[in-house]
Amino acid sequence: MGGYIVLCDHNSKWAEKFTDEAIKRNIPTVVVESIAEIEDKLTADGSSIMLVCSLIELREYLKNNTVDEKIFFEKVSVFVISDSNDDNEEIYYIRQGCVDFQWRKRNIFIIVERIRALLNKIEKAGEMIIDTKELMIIYDKEKINLKKREADIISILYNRDEIVSTEEICLEMWGVYDEKTKSNLYNTIYELRRKLAGKGGCIQNIYGKGFILSKDGIRIII
């Protein structure tokens, strides 16, 4: 495994136990006092990094630093440990881009195994970069050109971060919603998915509602 864990947790006893379990499973683990230190841990050597942090540390970091949450969660995989079993908190941070959200009282062995599985998945899948400014897709060292309208669709879905209806997308792109623009949209999404190859499923069609963008394994530059 080429990945490693960066741990930031206020609960020192839990952190020590977690680190021991991770090391037993041959997962290198670096402990930091503040999430702000994560910038020093991001390397260009292709390693997969998993930031494991308590919800307290995550809230404090996002509150005290001028950070765009979307960009932060795209730069690094974040695994949140919560001291309370709060469904609303879990839903919010999963939607923001956290890869997982677990209650601290859960069996620590299960938590470590979930992290190991996620690291393996990230490492095997590789990251795809969609650059809407340069109109380019970068994946496995290959570069594929994007058309302007394809990049526009990615931008619309990215900025909304929710299900966007076919009508809304057509109106934003062409100013008109009719059979012609609807057909144009479906054809463009078909071609875009083809270019995205194995990551084409990131543009999900929620039948009867519209489209939503999943950012799993993808970094998007707007």
Q: What is the CATH number of the domain that holds 173?
A: 1.10.10.10
Confidence band, pLDDT 50/70/90 cuts, at residue 187:
very high
If asked whether residues 112 and 135 sit together in one domain, one would say no
Q: Per-residue pLDDT tens for 63-113?
A: 887 767 766 777 778 999 999 888 888 888 888 888 899 999 999 999 999
The per-residue pLDDT for 46 is 45
The per-residue pLDDT for 2 is 52
If asked whether residues 94 and 42 sit together in one domain, one would say yes
Look at residues 97, 125, 153 and tell me which one is the last residue of a structural domain: 125
Least confident of 35-49, 71-85, 157-171, 189-203: 35-49
If asked whether residues 161 and 72 sit together in one domain, one would say no
Exposed, middle or buried by CB within 10 Å (0-12, 13-18, 19+), for 151? buried
Q: How many domains does the chain have?
A: 2
Task: Look up residue 52 and give its two tokens.
Answer: 């494991």
If asked whether residues 181 and 102 sit together in one domain, one would say no
Distance CA 66, CA 213 (A): 25
Task: Look up residue 173 and give its two tokens.
Answer: 């792109």
pTM recorded for the entire structure: 0.56
Look at residues 125, 152, 182 and tell me which one is the last residue of a structural domain: 125
* Structural domain span for residue 99: 4-125
Phi, psi at residue 125, to the nearest 5°?
Answer: -70, -35
Look at residues 82, 98, 125 and tell me which one is the last residue of a structural domain: 125
Amino acid code (one letter) for 119: L
The answer to whether 22 and 112 have CB atoms below 8 angstroms apart is yes
The answer to whether 138 and 194 have CB atoms below 8 angstroms apart is no
The residue that leads in pLDDT, 24 or 178, is: 178
If asked whether residues 21 and 121 sit together in one domain, one would say yes
Q: Per-residue pLDDT tens for 136-150?
A: 888 766 788 999 999
If asked whether residues 102 and 143 sit together in one domain, one would say no
Q: Per-residue pLDDT tens for 2-54?
A: 568 889 999 999 999 999 999 888 888 989 888 888 765 554 444 567 899 99
